[in-house]
A and B are shown apart, each in its own frame.
Chain A
């Protein structure tokens, strides 16, 4: 890992050295960001149980793909950028229902997960803006509300009865919070001319590739009657600063 970080920093230094110094062009005002996320997510449902593994029994070791976007508004840009963000993602995973003997059956079942996020993010882009070092670290924190639904072999929302005989519908909304951070690679330094054209033609000031790790606690703030859908998940993607 340390070798990769060193390589990344070295690459950044090379890019910085290759990049033109000073403002190569007059940038349009920055005020917002749009981020496209691609990542994986595995709700830690089984962590609620001492021995049972209802998630693993059906979905095994597979992980769900989570895709989505975030839109941000930049509030403060003095020494880095402080912004508020709203985001939406969607992920799903397919598994196999168990027969009466507990073995995999022929019924394909699933779980759908749609978290909405409200975040505050701080990006330290001072070095990128003023010294052409194309790496922008950031941290973020916020609230998460996730819609989810489990499907049965008929691709209908699961429905069953609890021990008390009451109907239990396999969908809901679970609330929680998240905190995380990441590292962005400013693409403008790779092709300054193209970046300038992108800005003048589309208003996109800067483009970034990024990798992010997000720790999400999603259990209705510790409610004893909530499913645990939290996870520590990685994602990567593209961000455009407008």
Chain B
């Protein structure tokens, strides 16, 4: 995190020496691992240009120990005049002086890879040793903010600097307590408690496998991560009824440090019967599902309505030459329409709206026969026209003839 110089330092600087402020046109270019760490730095270190969050956790500490990285910053365009620069860094709880381009350790912890160098290039790269940046061993259980400094000085006139904060979190969260795992139908629900970690600082990861496992095998077992509650339903297609699953949970902090695993509980999911399964099992006759271009419109075969439409096709349409021609044209063009709307939710919804009355009409004709159905439909249409004529007549009743 880039932090602007505090106002109080500016005020002190105005009174006691050269003016001090943020560096104009300063930019962060990125971090590159050196030697064995080339390409091995984790994204959470903020290795990309303009990154603002820089984190080192326990896992990183183990990987980065003994190594170093090149940090690159830029000032473009360069300020006018004769400027010097310095790059320095201090581990958590230590600071570097920023009064000139020759920083010193305020409290004995400042490392200075560059000091009083002429500022001639818009890009500056300096090397940072991870052991000195982290300041502690990986099992130290410490948390703090290391600081990388970049200072520019126009001697006796002006000193400006920028800081880049690096969160060093070498403290793992405490393991939650797994309290219950309850099996369902192809699923199970996991519940745990956590009286130690701050809920705002941790999420949880649930691990499960058909054989009991330890932390060494986490890369091979199934897991669900990013859980911000104290219970979760595990619903994976790989969960089989009748199989026994061993379940453990771990807390994960904001630096991605993972706690030790909770104790293990096991669960055996079993089939249950929901309403529809019970309805079918006890002899319910509704076939369920939807139908037709409706197969595309509703995204599934409409078994019940499909029967209606099949009967309508066979018993009504196919009984006349016109109907047979319609069916032939439908089978020629309808499948293209179905394919076209299949992946378009709005068109599928429109198709659903238009298909519903068609299904009603089909059912009406199958119910009372095609001729009676046509008669009812015709009567309905004529009734609507009569109604419309009467409505228009009423509306125009008080309108002068010349205004109509």
Contacts and interface: CB of A to CB of B under 8 A. Distances in A.
A171 B279 CA distance: 12
A168 B288 contact: yes
Interface stretch (A146-154, A185-193, A198-206): A146-154
A111 B189 CA distance: 21
Interface string B300-331: 11111101000000000000000000000000
A181 B307 CA distance: 34
Interface stretch (A47-55, A133-141, A234-242): A47-55
B282 A54 contact: yes
Contacts of A105: 184-185, 270, 272
B360 A145 contact: yes
Nearest to B291: A173
Contacts, number: 153
A174 B45 CA distance: 58
A221 B363 contact: yes
Contacts of A48: 284-285
A98 B356 contact: no
A231 interface: no
Interface in A148-168: 150-154, 158-162, 166, 168
B312 to A, nearest CB: 14
A54 B359 contact: no
A99 to B, nearest CB: 6
Contact of B304 (A45, A57, A97, A225): A225
Interface string A57-80: 111000000000000000100000
A169 interface: yes
Interface in B228-259: 233, 235
Given A99-B270, A169-B303, A171-B288, A150 B275 contact: yes
B275 A109 contact: yes
B271 A169 contact: no
A232 interface: no
B304 A172 contact: yes
Given A107-B184, A153-B184, A226-B304, A55 B288 contact: no
Given A54-B279, A105-B184, A158 B274 contact: yes
Contacts of B276: 150, 152, 158-160, 168, 170
27 contacts: A49-B282, A54-B278, A55-B275, A57-B278, A59-B275, A97-B185, A97-B274, A99-B273, A100-B270, A105-B185, A106-B182, A107-B185, A145-B359, A145-B360, A154-B185, A154-B186, A168-B276, A168-B287, A169-B288, A170-B277, A172-B289, A172-B290, A172-B304, A173-B305, A175-B363, A227-B284, A227-B285
Given A162-B280, A168-B303, A175-B360, 13 more contacts: A52-B282, A54-B281, A54-B282, A54-B284, A57-B278, A75-B391, A107-B184, A107-B272, A109-B275, A152-B277, A153-B274, A160-B280, A225-B285
